[in-house]
Structure 1
């Protein structure tokens, strides 16, 4: 009998590529892959296959098989153009298994989502909620695009059990290890799983350092490296991989740095709990994951993914780390309430905590703050900051009001300063043992600095008293600072209130009863709410009951329910009120909100505004 692969000898390169690409994209069965790699491969086939990215695609397609009765699913939707901004939902035998808001795909490609998990091997059992042409492919193995395989080959990402990472630099006897964790890509990208490569590190720096670059290769957009596509925990796998790497090099956690931006920063905060002496460098992490999952891109997938629930909040871990005096460099922006959770603005006298408030929105921070991030990482690699070549001399300091509660700052340098690499300038002050840095714009190169319109000091949350300094941090790891000796005089001269440091608002735990005040910060909008919360009995179909009126704790008692109940002293609708309610609703995974308004708080305009809260179902009643 002829070997089934003998026919491949006559294939042209185009025909062979088409065959192999198709096998890789559809999750080729193990038997086919084994046959293609078998000892009886012809020389022609082997040379065209084994050394290509197609081979890697197919190998990856074998990774992480599912349990019995589970299948990976790929959805392609060709009729997307008339439905941009709408939700597309995928059903298996009538049960929703995935959903997303439609974004334009890459040029010339359909909208495609990969690696959802269904319970049928028959594509006919799958349906969507929208009209138009779509197709479903089903496989026991994950779907991998050729672009993903090329990406992985470029960055040498390899599979280690359930964990995917590449490692470069000194892989024999490094003095330090830098672990990096990835952020998200667009849901329609042909490269679903990226890495944070830190390509700026030089070959000389890599002589003494190992850089381990993790890939969040789970579920559709990644799972914060917490669970696999089927919902099984990978925490011990990731923790074990990191521990093994350090052990193999004879290092402990004090010689490790964990770095990430956005999703990657949340992952770094999570795994930092297992390496208590490590240095954390994190940029714009999501501190309340359920709340972040209420945004359109995740509302119909990660928010519904049961396996993600019950994970300790990165914000809770951050507060623990601050109390423990962990080494943390935190990069953020005021215009990122969805990630900040109104926590990072108020570190409580935390030793070794340094915040860097960067101008712009969420996506600006990693770019604008990159010189400082790389500088901090290089200081870790060298064991200390490098000696600066250029020393700061300050000529004058001016403070001026920019509106109620807001203060701008101008600094003129005493002499022009030449800095030979990319850098960031900061106003710097100490809040107890914490160090708070506020980015300044260089309006005249090496001569004059000012706070931008998004970096103004806010006297409702920032005290102007105490010792302030001016600092620069370069991407090369050098830094210099000088005390602003005329600061107090400048405050008095401007006749500005010195302000106060508002205490840490925190984030109450939703499994215990609590009461007090809760602060929401969104840019320069600072709102404080008095509240009372009761966790309820708990249920799979949870409803958050919200009561608005005076005396919150009395209002909680007035509502007879076994559902989580939040009473708030508020009679005026604002984005901050909506944010507070949504934060709590997300933490209890409420499927709907039931809002009661009390007499005197029940104007029609107030009721109408409450109905605009961005939740799936909002029910509004009057109490009494």
Structure 2
């Protein structure tokens, strides 16, 4: 009997392998792409085979890889707690339990695994669960209905919908999606921009991509098997551009949050295109170091080792690309202290909005729609008069109140901004509208920081309407800062380096708090697993590696860090070092006796699982001399290598 059952299983597996072969997948995809009223479509529907055909047509995985669907039944008592799904002893997926959509089970679909034997899997919590494993992706009726509603089609392993002029367009508007809730019945969305109507798109082809990879998207960096998607998506974009002979300058890439990060990636080979971004994540491994991502996307080595949005954006800054960037200072996880401090970048306009990450796109929607319509139809510039301006000093910041003329007071639903310059970068600070419609002002959360905002160069008041109209006025008087406030400093927004012989400056900003540091760094052992961050009085000070060659752990990199003014956000500096190094362990070493107690309290709560804070042992003079000599030799070798 066992032999018979074994034979049946082998035959079944052979049948599935044949069905999921390239031929079987191609046939299924042709069926799905055929007209809805075709004979083959009618036959499939009459036999109830839509689900089977859809699975066969879905993303192809290499042999030995499978999609899994995890259903957790008694999730209520574990609400808010982390869980992990293990295949043998390896974590294949984890998340933090949230309630599912009302009336539906808690499901996590399309977890990629390397076994189809459910007995090899277990949860690390005691909840009752069910695990289904197959070769095709798992979906929901809600996702199928959503895809039909928005016209999402599959083109090989790439998914998108087309809107607007599909015959002879002169422009391309390309959108990428953000994240939905991890427990959503619609895991894969598109940025359809319903407010952009068909009349807006009379000369434009709009391409709305769907990030249909892994359990909830991969930032379109890799497919579910971990293979790069870039060439496949690029070929779609270049194919549409060349087919319709569209000039690069007539392409606009748009995305918010995750979609913004994707837009940065796929604009790479279109340097003349316009980028419209809202709160993109700059460093994905850093952003993924949070409960919802630590045991899924954070573990994806392909994403972790890919070129990050921050690196690409810095390249675009140097090229002077046209970029409109909406952000908030209260979004350190996404910003990575880049856009807040970026200055003197040609082509860049940065719009600062108050509130959290998710508030930015909602608050600035009129501006973003207006910029899109400027791209689609051309600019509509209008003038008004700012009749009065008042400045108010508040601590280390400045508040402002502006009075506009009667014509401007009748503008409804626009975003109002103070406008200034940071060198060649245009800076826009969102304002609040008063109950008196002729008053626009900075609220307590929109205060201008004397330390880094260009208060003296703010000379304009601007309103952006969703219809594309841009109203502008000069300020009747300049903004003034307090007599005790120092002139604005141009802070460094250089990226964090793992190999820096000479001390460099690094600035971290979170909300209204910033910290300035001087550091140098070097590699010790590329096969090491530990990042050492030494906090010292002077960044040129030699230090001894604490963990090198101790038999258990080895140091990969060392950073020697000097707080320049205070210890603000020192924990984030250390965290960024360990994530940049890709190390498993973080060892923080304190050298300054005078700040040890405070630093220990600050750094002991760092958000990294395997981290330790230790105090450096006093170094005898003769040992210090040896360390200095060894360090100089190491840095000389590093300099030669570079």
Residues 354, 605 of structure 1: alpha-carbon distance in 2 compared, 3 angstrom cutoff: closer
Q: Does 1:323 align with 2:324?
A: no
Which residue does 2:534 correspond to in 1? 547
Displacement of 1:185 in angstroms is 0.9
State the shift of 1:29 in Å: 6.3
Question: 1:568 — aligned with what?
Answer: 561
- Contact 1:231–1:307 (8 Å) recurs in 2: yes
2:115 equivalent in structure 1: 120
Q: What is the CA distance between 1:124 and its match in structure 2?
A: 1.3
Residue 365 (str. 1) matches residue 352 (str. 2)? no
Structure 1 residues 28 and 80 mapped into 2: Cα distance closer, same or farther (>3 Å)? farther
Inter-partner Cα distance in structure 1 for 2:347 and 2:339: 14
Please point out which of 385, 390, 395 is paired with 1:393: 385
Q: Deviations over 1:277-303 (max 9, x none)?
A: 000000001011111010111111111
* Alpha-carbon displacement from aligned partner over 1:565-619 (angstroms, at most 9, x marks no partner): 2222249996611111112222222222111122505745542442211111112
Cα 1:481–1:504, aligned 2, differ >3 Å: closer, same or farther? farther
Q: Could you say what secondary structure the match of 2:406 adopts?
A: coil
Q: Could you tell me whether the CA contact under 8 Å between 2:140 and 2:185 is conserved in 1? A: yes
**Corresponding residue of 1:13:** none
The secondary structure found in structure 2 opposite 1:307 is helix
String of CA shifts for 1:421-477, please: whole Å, max 9, x gaps: 531000001222211000001114530011011111101112322351000010000
2:12 is matched with none
1:593 aligns with 2:582: no
Look up the SS of the partner of 1:180 in the other structure. Answer: strand
| SS in structure 1 of the partner of residue 255 of structure 2 | strand
Q: Give runs of aligned pairs for residues 346-357 of structure 1, distance below 5 A.
A: 346-357=341-352
State the partner residue of 1:619: 612
Partner of 2:125: 130
Q: Is the 8 A contact 1:512 1:535 kept in 2?
A: no
Question: What TM-score do you get using the length of structure 2 for normalisation?
Answer: 0.86
Offset of 1:343 from its aligned partner? 1.1
Quote the Cα distance in structure 1 between the aligned partners of 2:601 and 2:355: 32
SS at match of 1:298: coil
Determine if contact 1:322/1:347 at 8 Å carries over to the other structure. no
Distance 1:44 1:472, change over 3 A: closer
Aligned residue runs from structure 1 range 47-58, under 5 A: 47=42, 50=45, 55=50, 58=53
Distance of aligned partners of 1:57 and 1:349 in 2 relative to their CA distance in 1, 3 Å threshold: farther
In structure 2, list runs of 5 or more residues that go unmatched.
Answer: 1-15, 549-554, 618-642
Separation in 2, partners of 1:164, 1:60: 15
Superposition misfits of 4+ residues, deviation over 6 angstroms? 26-29, 31-34, 43-46, 51-54
TM-score normalized by structure 1? 0.88
Structure 2 residue 331 is the aligned partner of structure 1 residue 336: yes
Tell me, in whole angstroms, the C-alpha distance in 2 between the residues paired with 1:426 and 1:609.
37
1:435-584 superposed matches below 5 A: 435-487=426-478, 491=480, 495=483, 497=485, 499-510=487-498, 515-539=503-527, 542-556=529-543, 559=546, 561=548, 562-570=555-563, 576-584=569-577
In 2, Cα distance between the equivalents of 1:316 and 1:46?
46
- In structure 2, distance between residues paired with 1:27 and 1:263: 35
Structure 1 residues 597 and 509: CA distance shift in structure 2, 3 A: closer
3-state SS of 2:569 partner: helix
SS at match of 2:119: helix
Distance 1:310 1:132 in 2: 34
Given candidates 54, 58, 63, the residue that maps to 1:59 is: 54
Q: Which moved more, 1:97-106 or 1:600-609?
A: 600-609
Secondary structure (helix, strand or coil) at the match of 2:186 reads coil
2:240 equivalent to 1:245: yes
Gaps of 5+ in 1: 1-25
Counterparts of 1:137 and 1:129, CA distance in 2: 17
Q: Which moved more, 1:187-196 or 1:107-116?
A: 107-116
- Is the Cα contact below 8 Å between 1:56 and 1:153 reproduced in 2? no
Offset of 1:49 from its aligned partner? Answer: 5.5
**SS of aligned partner of 1:552:** coil
Q: Secondary structure at the match of 1:615?
A: coil
User: Which of the numbers 410, 413, 417 marks the counterpart of 2:404?
Assistant: 413
8 Å CA contact retained: 1:282, 1:330: yes
Q: CA deviation at 1:313?
A: 2.0
Q: 8 Å contact 1:158–1:164 — kept in the other structure?
A: yes
When residues 325 and 602 of structure 1 are mapped into structure 2, their CA distance, relative to the original with a 3 A threshold, is closer
Partners of 1:594 and 1:122 in 2: CA distance:
40
Distance 1:571 1:127, change over 3 A: farther
- Local SS of the residue matching 1:350: coil
